[in-house]
Amino acid sequence: MRYCKRCILPDTRPGIFLDNEGVCSGCRGHDDKEITINWARRAAAFKEIVAEAKTHSTGYDCIVPVSGGKDSWYQVITCQQYGLKVLGVTWRTPGRTGIGQRNLDNMISRLSLDHIDFTIDPDVERRFMIAAYERKGATAIPMHMALFAIPIRFAVQMRIPLVIWGENPQLEFGGEQVERLATELDLHWIAKHGVTNQTAREDWIGVKDLTNEDLAAYRLPLESDFRSFAPKSIFLGSFFKWNSFENTRVSAKHGFESNAANLKTGVWHFADIDCHFIALHHFLKWYKFGFLRSFDNLSVQIRYGLTTREDAIRELREKGFQVPNDDITRFCEFADKPESWFWETAESFRNNSEVWRRHGDTWTIPGFLIDDWDWTHS
Ligand SMILES: [Zn+2]
C-alpha cells in the first residue's frame, strides 16, 4: 500500500494509481483542471449543448438528477442561469434525513423547480441492500443502480434531450486521463464506474427472493431503447470547474442548509447529509481499502490549497477511527438484523491479503500513513 506524496490517498482506492513521480491520479486530475483544460472553450461547448437541447425540447430541456445536496442546488442554479427548463429527478433513499428532506423541499420552492421524487418499495430496497451487503460488502449498490437508471429512463420516455450530472468522478477523484477529460456519462461509463461492483440488475434476480418485477425500477434503458430517442448525458463538472466549497457557497446563498450540528462522516459538514445510510458506504472502505472518508475530504482540501499534507495528517490523527454508530444502528433496524450481523459481515470483507495484517487480536495496516495510529478498535 503506497500513498500519494501530494495528498493522503492510498493506491488501494478504486481509480487511484500513482505515476512515476509518486503523484496520484486524483492530484493529476487537479492538474488537468488547473492547467490542461481550457474552461472558456468548455463553457462555449456547454452553450452549444444548451442550444441543441432547446431545438429538440418539447417542454423540459433537461433532467438534473438531484438529492437535495449542495451539488444538486448548484447544478440546478447553473442550468437555470443558462436558460434551461429543468426537471429535477430524485431517487428517494429509504434513509432520507430530516435535513435532506428540508433541503429538497427548499430547493423545489426557492428554485421554482418541477420535481419527481421516485420511491421504490422499501421492502425491495431492504432485501436488495441486505443482499448487496452480504455478497459484496457494499450497501450502496441498489442506491447507485437506482440513481443512474431512473433519470435516464425518464429522459428517454419523456423525450427530454439532456441529462446533466454533477462532477466527473474520474476528474475529481482519480482515473485515467482520457476519462478525466471526457464529458459524457453513457451506458459504457455506468457499467465501468457505476459503483455496482461490476454487477448488473439481472445478477440480483433470485437473490433474497428478488424478482424481475421487484427490480423494475433499477432497469437501465438498453442501447436499442436509444434508437428512437437518445438523450445527451453530460457531467456539469466537465464544463465548469468543480469546487465543492464554491458549490456550497453558491447553494447556501439560495437557501441550502449545512449540517453543522451533526457530522455523519468525513470532515465536511456540508456533504453526505441527505441519507442515513451513506456513511456506511464510506465506512466499509476501511475494511476493503484501508482508508476513511476523511482521507477523501482532506485530500481535496490539500489540492485546493486549503490545508497542507502535514496538517491533514495531524487532523486525521486527532480524529482517529470514526465509526458511524448511529447510522449502523439505524441500518440494522431498517434491515431487521442484529448489529452483530453488521460487524460480522464487515469483518468478512476485510482485505487481509493486500491491506491488513493480524497480530494476535489486533488488525493493523503495514506502512499506514500515521505511525502511531491507535489500532485498538480497528
Ligand atoms: Zn494525490
The rounded Å distance from CA 9 to ligand 1 centre is 6
The rounded Å distance from CA 227 to ligand 1 centre is 41
Residue 73's domain comprises 36-238
Query: Is residue 203 in a domain?
Result: yes
The 10s digit of each residue's pLDDT in 287-344 is 999 999 999 999 999 999 999 999 999 999 998 898 999 999 999 999 999 999 999 9
The rounded Å distance from CA 130 to ligand 1 centre is 34
The rounded Å distance from CA 5 to ligand 1 centre is 7
Query: Is residue 190 in a domain?
Result: yes
Confidence bin at 260 (pLDDT 50/70/90): confident
Confidence bin at 103 (pLDDT 50/70/90): very high
The whole-number pLDDT of residue 259 equals 84
State how far the Cα of 290 lies from the Cα of 3, in Å rounded to an integer. 11
Among residues 166, 213, 198, 164, the alpha carbon closest in space to that of 64 is found at 164
The rounded Å distance from CA 303 to ligand 1 centre is 8
Q: Across the beta sheet with 162-165, what order do the strands follow?
A: 114-118, 86-91, 62-65, 162-165, 232-235
Domain count within the chain: 1
Q: Give the torsion sign (CA, 185, 189, 194, 200).
A: positive
State how far the Cα of 80 lies from the Cα of 105, in Å rounded to an integer. 18
State how far the Cα of 236 lies from the Cα of 240, in Å rounded to an integer. 6
The rounded Å distance from CA 174 to ligand 1 centre is 9
The whole-number pLDDT of residue 265 equals 86
Query: Is residue 262 in a domain?
Result: no
State how far the Cα of 363 lies from the Cα of 375, in Å rounded to an integer. 7
- Cβ pair 99, 257 in contact under 8 A: yes
DSSP 8-state code for residue 222 = P
The rounded Å distance from CA 170 to ligand 1 centre is 13
State how far the Cα of 38 lies from the Cα of 154, in Å rounded to an integer. 32
The 10s digit of each residue's pLDDT in 39-81 is 999 999 999 999 999 999 999 999 999 999 999 999 999 999 9
Query: Is residue 48 in a domain?
Result: yes
The DSSP secondary structure of 22-57, one letter per residue, reads: S-BHHHHHHHIIIII--HHHHHHHHHHHHHHHHHH-
Phi, psi (deg, nearest 5) at residue 234: -130, 160
| Beta-bridge mates of residue 184 | 234
The rounded Å distance from CA 234 to ligand 1 centre is 25
Packing angle of the helix pair 70-81, 98-110 (nearest 10 deg) = 10
Query: Is residue 147 in a domain?
Result: yes
Query: Is residue 90 in a domain?
Result: yes
The whole-number pLDDT of residue 160 equals 98
| Beta-bridge mates of residue 362 | 359
Q: What is the CATH number of the domain that holds 65?
A: 3.40.50
State how far the Cα of 73 lies from the Cα of 89, in Å rounded to an integer. 12
Query: Is residue 56 in a domain?
Result: yes
The rounded Å distance from CA 67 to ligand 1 centre is 28
Task: State which amino acid sits at residue 282.
Answer: H
